[in-house]
Amino acid sequence: MSYKSTFQRAVVTGGAGFLGSHLSDALLASGCEVVCVDNLCTGSRENIGHLLGDPRFSFVRSDAIDGIHVDGPVDLVLHLASPASPVAYTRLAIETLRVGSEGTSNALELAGEKGARFILASTSEVYGDPLQHPQVESYWGNVNPVGERSMYDEAKRFAEALTVAHASRRGVDAGIVRIFNTYGPRLRSGDGRVVPNFIRQALADDPMTVHGDGTQTRSLCYVDDTVDGILRLAASPHLGPVNIGNPEELTVTELAHRIRELVVSASPLRHLGLPADDPKFRCPDISLADELLGWKPSVSLEDGLLRTIAWFSKNQDPAVTRLPRGPKEESVPS
């Protein structure tokens, strides 16, 4: 990915998280200064350790809920602060709702004060368990407001409404990106998301846990492509929302087989119960991103998975930093 920044100085809330750290990398590479604001509740210093010596990068350990105070000029605010995996936002339910409301309000206030472009990192979860497939931006979604995932879904839906209100009532230059399943290096191995779960289990020759019957679908976008889409929206005048994701759809079982083959693992598959409100289908319509931003994903699933597997093999527990040997097999309990 090659991105030439039109911005001089950006604030990235949640900048020590998986996606935020990759956005910080891309902004710095483009010539932009970056102020990373993160309370490290789910982010990690390891994600930004390679940036801490760069004079154009600064890290502020702070919670967006408590206000965002940055001295000097800012011309871009990227608001990513929020737990983003089922394990994290279930554990931090109230904090997730607060960062979606109070944290978003504070980030919008900062953008308004500085005259900066504001980008909200929203999510495909606003579509809930969709009744329309693939999902287009005009679809209002099928969300359970009191369900087990509601703290994340409704926090993002409120954040979108708040962003639109600030744009229409206060003139904030804002954009909303709806991010679909994104994967790549720096994902937390125990965060409950399907790609790190499968990779960690396959590297250890542990059973690969498939929830439900495995026919539910996901559409996986490599992190470099997601970052490219977000920054294209930032550099545009569009409010959105705009879907950013990969429209190539596969079942969870197909994904498990693909990862097992790439790792060369002997892990069996093991089926568990399906969590409540788990989406049966997830696939973006990216026509709008193509039309407005000239954006489409370019990294193939195999290439992206190989890069991600290599990172996990190098960075997780030394006992499993190898490519397992042995025959491929499948054992699915009844």
Within 10 Å of residue 102's Cβ, how many Cβ atoms?
A: 15
Secondary structure class of 242 (helix, strand, coil): strand
The one catalytic residue among 127, 152, 183, 222 = 152
C-alpha 80/C-alpha 173 separation (Å) is: 17
Length of the chain measured in residues: 334
Within 10 Å of residue 76's Cβ, how many Cβ atoms?
A: 25
Asked if residue 38 lies in contact with residue 58, where contact means CB atoms within 8 angstroms, the answer is: no
- Partners of 269 in the β-ladder: 208
Structure tokens at 76: 């871009």
C-alpha 218/C-alpha 255 separation (Å) is: 9
152 belongs to the catalytic site: yes
In the block, residue with structure tokens 């953008």: 111
CA 316 from chain center: how many Å?
20
List C-alpha distances in Å: 251 to 191, 211, 217, 246, 330.
20, 11, 4, 14, 16
Q: Which residues of 241-278 are buried (b: 16+ CB within 10 A; e: fewer)?
A: bbbbbbbebbebbebbbbbbebbebebbbebeeeeebb
**Residues belonging to the active site:** 152
